[in-house]
A and B are shown apart, each in its own frame.
Chain A
Amino acid sequence: MKPALTSLERVLTTLGRREPDRVPLFLLLSLHGAQELGMGIREYFSAARHVVDGQARLRTRYGHDCYDAFFYAAIEMEAWGGEARFFDDGPPNAGAPIVSHAAQIAGLAVPDVAECARLRQVLDAIAGLHEKAAGEVPVIGVVMSPYSLPVMQLGFERYLDWQTEAPEAIERLWRMNQEFCVEWANAQLKAGATAICYFDPLASPTITPPAEYRRTGWRIARQTLARIAGPTATHLASGRSLPAIDLLAQTGTVAVGVSALEDLAEVKHACAGRMAVIGNLDGIAMRRWTEAEAEAEVKAAIAQGAPGGGFILSDNHGEIPWQVSSDTLMAIAEAVRRWGEYPLFGRDGR
């Protein structure tokens, strides 16, 4: 048995693609803090201190290895002048697109992070979590990639159409998004985030053919990540990764979040020596797991992904649904402690 590490040491060892004391667990519970505090989701996200308290309570309960400073994806749309629609039992969702004609793109103004009250709340939450972490727990910040943000800004259909019908306008939007993304990511790092999750669902071959991604989102990712002053992990939000692994590895990202539809061992092999793997418990199916099923899923994921290090156990989407129960989350956390200790069960004579 290896001596116990702090969560931060455990994660850094893993990202260095070595075996720490046990498999790190990221329970990405951006919403469940509201349940901990007994308040609605809108109220929860109305103050940074709620998120700090919520994240602290969740980590006390489950003992996982990060603070998740993510509020909700549509917060970036609020910064761009759009709206977020709140619900009682799920993440706030982006409202109507802010652009309906390509000519409008030229008139958009890149949000100033310091001037946006909602973004400042996130920065305050990161600062609060950084303080609580006391150098022992990684604080994860999140940005939407400049390549994926237009899905909310324009609507998915328009975005795909305009890439061929109005390519100059789309290039302009990508450049504007890139400026915003870099400033937003670096502001989070400056506030105390340990690393940035670069949320890029469109990079996934589930959405974009790899050849097209290479021409567009890959180029943008390489430019953007090079300007972010800290480590980044790319998350594909349930999308497949394998056909694009080589491209993703060349963006400068240190880890990739992969789909529940993929074989972890295969992804791990493809990433070997280049990126760590984050995943891939199925957040949708997780709602109905029994405790025994949760343990079996964790055990299987560890057996596939964890040998040799370089693996963080997490869900496949980057956000565990509101409907997943505390009992299930506890079963997952306990299973990681039971089966995730290095050297792994079943290896090295154990």
Chain B
Amino acid sequence: MTHTDTLSPTREAFLEALIETDRLAAGRVLESASRLAGPGHALDSLMMPALETIGARWESGELALAQVYMSGRICEELVERLMPDGAGNPAGGEARVAIGVVEDQHALGKRIVLSVLRAGGIPVKDYGAGLGVGELVDRSRADGTRVLLVSTLMLRSALRIKDLVRALGAARPAVKVVAGGAPFVCDRRLGDEVGADAVGVSASDAVSIVRRLLGGGR
């Protein structure tokens, strides 16, 4: 029996604990899986599938944003507990991924995506909220950012991504822009309109999008 098979029965228990925002139960399930299969395998086979399921169930209207947020926070805490020197490196010097909120002060979407990326073992720099396009361009260039995730709340800030993509167009190495937030959930054509390299409809999309964009050329 493979480790994946061994962990199958615990997947539901872990998912349920996250949905119920039961930190203790989630920790117990993950630590037990970690002893059985090793921490890396436990994270890969339990945590990411659970976050993807939660993201999909939010997108379909089955779960609420508060549950997505809390499950991301719990996973982030568990990663730090399980692999203190490994996955979650929030502002590490090697981070080639950054995230920020254009203009708006409300940063819940960014916080959720940060949690998911850290849980997925992707170091990411947090540029904060209330940022102008110029600030995002300057910081991305200075840091050598390869993938910039941009969270938006309002339509007008979502449309600013078009300016951002244009301004980053000449950057070398190329900066790939991932757009997310409520306007992109409502209007699935908005990503093309602003020229984003990818659109994340739910936070759990972030890990696969970032891995794909880091892996290929522009």
Taking Cβ atoms with an 8 Å cutoff, the residues of A that contact B are 85, 87, 89-91, 93-97, 151-152, 155-157, 160, 205-209, 212, 238, 240, 242-243, 260-261, 282-285, 287-288, 316, 321-323
Cβ–Cβ contact B61 & A240, under 8 A: yes
Cβ–Cβ contact A95 & B105, under 8 A: yes
Cβ–Cβ contact A90 & B105, under 8 A: no
Cβ–Cβ contact A93 & B104, under 8 A: yes
Interface size on B, residues (CB 8 A): 28
Chain A residue numbers with a CB within 8 Å of B64 are: 205-209, 212
A256 vs chain B, min Cβ distance (A): 16
Chain B residue numbers with a CB within 8 Å of A283 are: 155, 186
Cβ–Cβ contact A156 & B61, under 8 A: no
Which residue of the partner chain, among A157, A209, A284, A323, contacts B107 with CB atoms under 8 Å? A157
Q: How far is the CA of A67 from the CA of B111 in the complex (A)?
A: 38
Q: How far is the CA of A288 from the CA of B130 in the complex (A)?
A: 27
B130 vs chain A, min Cβ distance (A): 8
Chain A residue numbers with a CB within 8 Å of B183 are: 284
Tell yes or no: B24 within 8 A of A by CB.
no
Chain B residue numbers with a CB within 8 Å of A209 are: 63-64, 66-67
Q: How far is the CA of A93 from the CA of B156 in the complex (A)?
A: 11
Taking Cβ atoms with an 8 Å cutoff, the residues of B that contact A are 58, 61, 63-67, 69-70, 103-108, 111, 130, 154-157, 159, 182-183, 186-187, 189-190
Greatest chain A CB density within 10 A among B58, B69, B108 is at: B108
Chain A residue numbers with a CB within 8 Å of B58 are: 206
Cβ–Cβ contact B156 & A94, under 8 A: no
Cβ–Cβ contact A96 & B187, under 8 A: no
Nearest chain A residue, comparing its CB with the CB of B108: A156
Chain A residue numbers with a CB within 8 Å of B103 are: 85, 87, 93
Q: Could you write out 29 A-B pairs with CB less than 8 Å apart?
A: A87-B103, A90-B154, A91-B154, A93-B103, A93-B104, A93-B105, A94-B105, A96-B130, A152-B106, A155-B105, A155-B106, A156-B107, A156-B108, A157-B69, A160-B70, A207-B65, A208-B66, A209-B63, A238-B182, A260-B186, A282-B186, A282-B187, A283-B186, A284-B155, A284-B186, A284-B187, A285-B189, A323-B155, A323-B156
Cβ–Cβ contact A90 & B187, under 8 A: no
Which residue of the partner chain, among A90, A93, A206, A285, contacts B65 with CB atoms under 8 Å? A206
Q: How far is the CA of A155 from the CA of B128 in the complex (A)?
A: 13
Cβ–Cβ contact A160 & B108, under 8 A: yes
